[in-house]
Amino acid sequence: MPTLTQIDLPQEIPAKPEPDGSLLFKNPSNDLILCLKDPFEIRMGLEVWSIDILQSEKSILDVHPPLKRFATEGHFFNPKNYQPWDASAETIAISGWERGVASYSVTDSILYCWTGIDYAISIIGSKTIPKYAAVTSKASYLFTPQGDLFNKLDLITPEDNFPDLFWVSDSDLLFSISSTSKKAIPEMTFYDGNSGDRVGSIKIDPKELVPYDHQSFSKLSRETYSLFVNGATRSVGYLLDQWAKVEFFEESNVILLSIFRPTSEIYRLGKEAVCDVGLKKVAFKINL
């Protein structure tokens, strides 16, 4: 069972966006790149993309007819914590708006449609074993690179509070950051990627790790947009109790957790009770 050590906050280097707004996912073993490009909102708050596959910065989609047909027949998502390449660096997984989830072998030119799900919130390929982890609105799963459902993880998925999944570097383990409800204490749960079995869990209580006078804000609604972020954007109140953002630096096995904390007293906005908040962060290293 891995352990956690709290560390100083790592230096964050902002990702440099491509000039045309595309997202590039590089193959770890060669010069192939999965490219998500031409984003647009297909409906309010829902962004989709076109896909391409590049080599030496040039499109080679024409030499992959099955992928080209799939690509030209729909639009695609940028799943949360997306890692499209599998451990062999020969297969990419993609989540489509119209045609569901599929994986494509760039060596065999075979397209595999995934069984059991038609949409993935997250797709994360392992770099050590032939498995993908996937999160849907109903459950979390392990899939083979050929799109076969391998196992369902014993994770409860509350509405609109989906778990974050990651693979531990140089390991067959994956872990989740999740909670069983919006009021429950979040946990970090480890799974054996070879079987999908739970290894163990660690509570990561935001009230203990980033303390504040929570009693003074206990009456603030957790169901409405009662938080003002930097005096502008509004956010839902339960994010005082749940991690607002989870980042994982795979090369160092460091996890960075962010949560909202009040920067003002509660005040009235019309009939609503609200407060101003800012992000606070805490970092941990996973010890194998």
Contacts of 19 (CB under 8 A, 6+ apart): none
List, as one string, the DSSP characters of the chain. Answer: --EEEEEPPPPP------TT--EEEE-SSSSEEEEEEEEEEEETTEEEEEEEEEETTEE-GGG-HHHHHHHHT--B---EEEE-B-TTSSEEEEEETTTEEEEEETTTTEEEEPSS-S--SEEEE-SSSS-EEEE-SS-EEEE-TTS-EEEE------TT-PPEEEEPTTSSEEEEEE-SSTTSPPEEEEEETTT--EEEEEE--HHHHS---GGGGTTS-SSS--EEETTTEEE-GGGGTS-SEEEEETTTTEEEEEEEEESS--EEETTEEEEEEEEEEEEEEEE-
Residue type, 192: D
Q: Which domains does the chain have, with CATH numbers?
A: 3-204 (2.120.10), 206-288 (no CATH)
Over the stretch 187-203, which tens digit does the pLDDT of each residue have? Answer: 999 999 999 999 999 99
What's the rounded mean pLDDT across residues 140-166? 90
Nearest in space to 288 (alpha carbons), one of 164, 196, 200, 156: 200
Burial of residue 200, with CB atoms counted within 10 A of its CB: 0-12 exposed, 13-18 middle, 19 or more buried = exposed
> Predicted confidence band at 156 (pLDDT cuts at 50, 70, 90)?
confident
Over the stretch 59-79, which tens digit does the pLDDT of each residue have? Answer: 999 999 999 999 888 889 999
pTM: 0.91
Q: Is the pLDDT of residue 45 over 80?
A: no
> Predicted confidence band at 115 (pLDDT cuts at 50, 70, 90)?
confident
CA atoms within 13 A on the CB side of 100: 10
Over the stretch 208-258, which tens digit does the pLDDT of each residue have? Answer: 999 999 999 998 999 999 999 987 789 999 999 999 999 999 889 999 999
> Predicted confidence band at 94 (pLDDT cuts at 50, 70, 90)?
very high
Contacts of 218 (CB under 8 A, 6+ apart): none
Distance CA 191, CA 72 (A): 37
> Predicted confidence band at 7 (pLDDT cuts at 50, 70, 90)?
very high
What's the rounded mean pLDDT across residues 107-132? 93
At residue 182, the pLDDT reads 84
